[in-house]
Structure 1
Amino acid sequence: MSGFLVKGPSGPLVAPLGSSVVLPCYVVEPLPMKDLEVEWRRTDSAILVHLYQDDESRPESQQQDYHDRAHFFIDQIQHGNFSLRLDNLRAEDDGRYTCRVYISGSDESVSVSVGEDVTLNCSVNSHITPEHIEEVSWKKTNEDILVLLYQNNKTLPDSSDERYRDRVEFFTAEIPKGNFSLRLKSVRTEDKGVYMCQVFAGGLSANATAVLGRMGES
């Protein structure tokens, strides 16, 4: 199976109290290290167990209970292995843990004249296969408005905020190539702002930001 799918254990892990256990989490192929973030959380409470961000482990972000007990295999992260070792197991460690991998794209600033059409770019690595794409959303983040939603292999135009309905579209033929760019038609002055594309696929969340600014008159 190809694609950047986050893999974990097939069943529950059992280990004696006081011992160590490895919680497996890895991707099929290595991801780019730039803008990579890995989060381990307790699913039952959303407690942050450990965080990898900005090319390093972030122990200061951990819940106090996991200080000095939860560790990444730092030398393995570049190979797509985000497994976590939990030491000195306690009875209260029993529970469900979730590993989430985020890749954020770089900001892109776009200028356009009022009345013109504009493309806001969003693409993720093409190794993600179409059948694993669960959801793609475009939101205007400074106003928290849903611009366009794609789920279950189709666009849901009724989900768009009324200001964007009938003015936005995906390049549908490009989606299998990992291209989720958005076409915004007949740009208005009030369209100016920050837009985020977020892709969920096989446990992987990726996002990219586009800034629509420097409006001119056509």
Structure 2
Amino acid sequence: MSAVTASLCSTLLFVGFVVFVSADQKIITAQPGQKSVTLPCRAPNNSSTITGVEWSRADLADEYVLLYRDELFDPDNQHPSFKNRVDLQDRQMKDGDLSLILKNVMINDTGTYECEAFMRGTNVKKRANVGGDPISIVTLKVLPPDQKNITVKPGQNVMLPCRAPNNSSSIIAVEWSRADLVDEYVLLYRDEHIVPEQQHPSFKNRVDLQDRQMKDGDVSLILKNVMINDTGTYKCQVFMRGTNMRKRANLKTDPISIITLRVDPPGGSVGLIVGLILSAVLLVAAVVGFLVYRKHKQQNRDFN
């Protein structure tokens, strides 16, 4: 009877261990431009014994996402893309909470993150000595924006939809751009005004936001009196509070909406094809007529 009980206990312990490990491996999804995302991590020990925490990502090699020890962030060897974008949910690490806050989410943030805690007595002077097992593994998937196709006719007004996933109070600027315009943009809206500098001339006085208050994150673009040359792929980007807006070159965020706008000529594709065929027929008729006229004229000369 005791052997059966021991076997049962061993089985239960094994099952419990497997459940604990699988529960610690999480998958989280986010969107580009999202204000923040939390990657959870909780140490199984009393927080009073925790002296630091490291968040890392395997593809960053020797650089880390965040290293916090002795109540300070260690900037050495932190990957540049995470500077000023990461923090702990609780710097006091109460109840062993070591969760990471990642701000202004970008597509390049996609990856598998590992959380490692350092206990009192652990040598954390050199990162090479930090070799414990992770207590949490989180796979973050930042999904690319939806790509929409819109077709209109010349002379119409069109709305290009875009909605930020955050509260509008944190949005300080919106930019609509088109790749073929190079350094000029379609619309830049900040400080409650449309910025005219570097706006492409063809869009001046023809574009506006659907809602300048950006309620519920609505930053859709209104394009008036559409022209054939408006055909192209448009990108919508939002910039959150704390972004450096002094130089446009510093505005590097992922688009939250990509829209391909197609402006059909009058009559659409069918009308265009019919027009081309009719033009070709008229051209052939003109050539034949010219040849007949020339031959007839030559015959009259020979007769005279």
* TM-score of the aligned structures, taking structure 2 as reference length: 0.42
Provide the rounded CA distance (Å) in 2 between the counterparts of 1:181 and 1:147: 13
Q: Percent identity?
A: 20
Check conservation: 2:174, 2:236, Cα contact below 8 A.
yes
Show structure 1 runs of 5+ residues with no match: 18-22, 40-51, 58-71, 75-85, 91-100
> Is structure 2 residue 153 aligned with structure 1 residue 113?
yes
Structure 1 residue identity aligned to 2:178: K
Provide the rounded CA distance (Å) in 1 between the counterparts of 2:201 and 2:153: 22
How many residues of Structure 1 are paired with residues of Structure 2 in the alignment?
A: 152
1:215 to 255, 264, 282: 264
Check conservation: 2:207, 2:222, Cα contact below 8 A.
yes
Query: Counterpart in 2 of 1:160?
Result: 199
Show structure 2 runs of 5+ residues with no match: 1-33, 39-65, 78-85, 88-99, 116-125, 131-140, 244-252, 268-304
Residues 4-83 of structure 1: pairs in structure 2 closer than 5 A: 4-5=35-36, 12-14=72-74, 24=87, 25-27=100-102, 37-39=107-109, 52=110, 56-57=111-112, 72-73=113-114
Task: Give the structure with higher Rg (CA).
Answer: 2
Query: Counterpart in 1 of 2:61?
Result: none
CA-based RMSD: 3.9
Post-superposition offset of 1:161:
1.1
Post-superposition offset of 1:188:
0.8
Distance 1:161 1:88, change over 3 A: same
Query: Counterpart in 2 of 1:190?
Result: 229
Check conservation: 2:168, 2:215, Cα contact below 8 A.
yes
Provide the rounded CA distance (Å) in 2 between the counterparts of 1:128 and 1:163: 32
Higher relative contact order structure (alpha carbons within 8 Å, sequence separation ≥ 6): 1
Provide the rounded CA distance (Å) in 2 between the counterparts of 1:14 and 1:188: 54
Provide the rounded CA distance (Å) in 2 between the counterparts of 1:136 and 1:210: 15
Distance 1:154 1:194, change over 3 A: same
Residues 116-131 of structure 1: pairs in structure 2 closer than 5 A: 116-125=156-165, 127-130=166-169
Structure with the higher fraction of residues in strand conformation? 1
Post-superposition offset of 1:179:
0.8
